Amino acid sequence: MRPLTLERLLLRCGLLALILFGVVVVSLKMGAVQVSLYGLGRDLIQVLLGRSSAISTDYGMIVLDIRLPRILLGIVVGASLSVAGASFQALLRNPLADPYVLGISSGAALGAIIALIAETHMAISPELAGLITPFGAFIGAAVTIAAVYLLGMRDGQIESSTLLLGGIISASFLSAVIMFLMTTLSGSNLRGTAFWMMGDLSTPQPKSLLYLVGIGFVVAAGAIYTTSSDLNLLLAGEKEAMHLGVEVSRVRIVVYIAASLLTGLAVSVSGTIGYVGLLVPHVMRLIWGSDHRMLIPASALGGAIALVVADTLARTVTAPSELSVGAMTAMAGAPLFIYLLRRRIA
């Protein structure tokens, strides 16, 4: 493989960004309500020029107020999950690591459900009510991450196989608790949670929350990117990295916290979406190698592309009914994962 140069990096990122842009345009066009490509292009240009009054009202509402925020949400969530997945895989030196497998998503789901239950028993102003569930999800993710981290510790060292097993066990335990709660409490608010647990981008989130997630992504992904050279060395093993001058414990803390933040934020607005965090980094690694200076931005863009495509399919395949995007990623992701697995063995 040829060495990574700055030009090559920018070229590849640019290519992915271009693909993402194309996917976004197509996704803006597609949906339950028909929109012509010509009309879409004309209106987007008008929006950028600030002449928005030329757009008809309900058309503007559908494309700009329903579809575009949803696509932007998909971009941020997909990018967050993929970067988190790539980081966990490097940190634990295990190709199976991803937020879903580590139980973090289940923890977030449980947090969200507890928040929903609490919400029905409290009188909360409607502005705050929309933020309670995401907040609960974030707390759930954070607590699970801490618990799984402690489970994975052995003599002050992280043992990646123990951590993964701890994550898997936590995930199944948390799912059982969720089932218990959903069976014993038959409030109407819980009905949506089954849908939510499959991953869902269809619910518009409060604007403030979207900005928060966007800023969180930039900060956390930036923090992970500053450690990308260290992550490369970590792949050789923790001792080896230490001998080469890497502050292993600092890198571990930074990456773990940042990746957890990414996961918590993503799950809090979209529910549990599997396979994106697992597969996108693998695919990017296959194409461009495992240099994290390339892998992390590529994963971010690739994850965004993958999730926007999956969500576009989820809302168009059975229109006007919607599939959950988590079902879509699992349906496409599981066979792809098996293919990659067999390929690696062969």
Q: Contact between 94 and other proteins (CB under 8 A)?
A: no
**Considering the complex, what minimum distance in angstroms separates the CB of residue 297 from other proteins?**
5
Q: What is the dihedral of CA 322, 326, 330, 332, to 10 degrees?
A: 50
* Pick 143 or 223: Cβ nearer other proteins: 223
Residues of span 165-184 touching other proteins by CB under 8 A: 183-184
> Which of 57, 122, 342, 345 is the binder for other proteins (CB under 8 A)?
57
Give CA separation, 85 vs 168, 197, 270, in Å.
15, 19, 16
> Which of 89, 144, 199, 315 is the binder for other proteins (CB under 8 A)?
315
Which residues pair with residue 154 across a beta bridge?
A: 157
**Considering the complex, what minimum distance in angstroms separates the CB of residue 31 from other proteins?**
5
Q: Considering only CA atoms, which of 139, 145, 27 is closest in space to residue 75? A: 27
Q: What is the dihedral of CA 212, 96, 24, 59, to 10 degrees?
A: -60
Give CA separation, 344 vs 3, 151, 161, 337, in Å.
23, 30, 20, 11
- Say how many CA atoms lie within 13 Å of 106 toward its Cβ: 21
Q: Contact between 125 and other proteins (CB under 8 A)?
A: no
What residues contact 137, with CB distance under 8 A and at least 6 apart? 108, 109, 111, 112, 115, 264, 267, 268
* Pick 98 or 291: Cβ nearer other proteins: 291
CA–centroid distance for 284 within its chain: 16
Residues of span 243-262 touching other proteins by CB under 8 A: 244
Q: Contact between 39 and other proteins (CB under 8 A)?
A: no
C-beta pairs of 286-290 under 8 Å, 24+ apart in sequence: 286/340, 288/12, 289/1, 289/4, 290/232, 290/235
* Pick 170 or 193: Cβ nearer other proteins: 193
Residues of span 190-209 touching other proteins by CB under 8 A: 191-192, 195, 200, 202-204, 206-207
Q: Which stretch binds other proteins (CB under 8 A): 97-105, 170-178, 247-255, 315-323?
A: 315-323
Q: Which stretch binds other proteins (CB under 8 A): 6-14, 104-112, 255-263, 336-344?
A: 6-14
3-state secondary structure of 98: coil
Q: Contact between 297 and other proteins (CB under 8 A)?
A: yes
> Which of 40, 47, 165, 283 is the binder for other proteins (CB under 8 A)?
47
At CA 172, angle to CA 309 and CA 70, rounded to 5?
A: 25
Structure-block tokens of residue 230: 């260290």
Q: Contact between 66 and other proteins (CB under 8 A)?
A: yes
Q: Contact between 283 and other proteins (CB under 8 A)?
A: no
Distance (Å, whole) CA 153 – CA 163: 7
**Considering the complex, what minimum distance in angstroms separates the CB of residue 52 from other proteins?**
4
Q: Contact between 225 and other proteins (CB under 8 A)?
A: yes
Q: Contact between 5 and other proteins (CB under 8 A)?
A: yes
Q: Which stretch binds other proteins (CB under 8 A): 134-142, 233-241, 249-257, 262-270?
A: 233-241
> Which of 60, 159, 223, 283 is the binder for other proteins (CB under 8 A)?
60
- Phi, psi torsion values for 288, nearest 5 degrees: -120, 15
Q: Contact between 126 and other proteins (CB under 8 A)?
A: yes
Q: Contact between 218 and other proteins (CB under 8 A)?
A: yes
3-state secondary structure of 154: strand
> Which of 177, 283, 289, 337 is the binder for other proteins (CB under 8 A)?
289
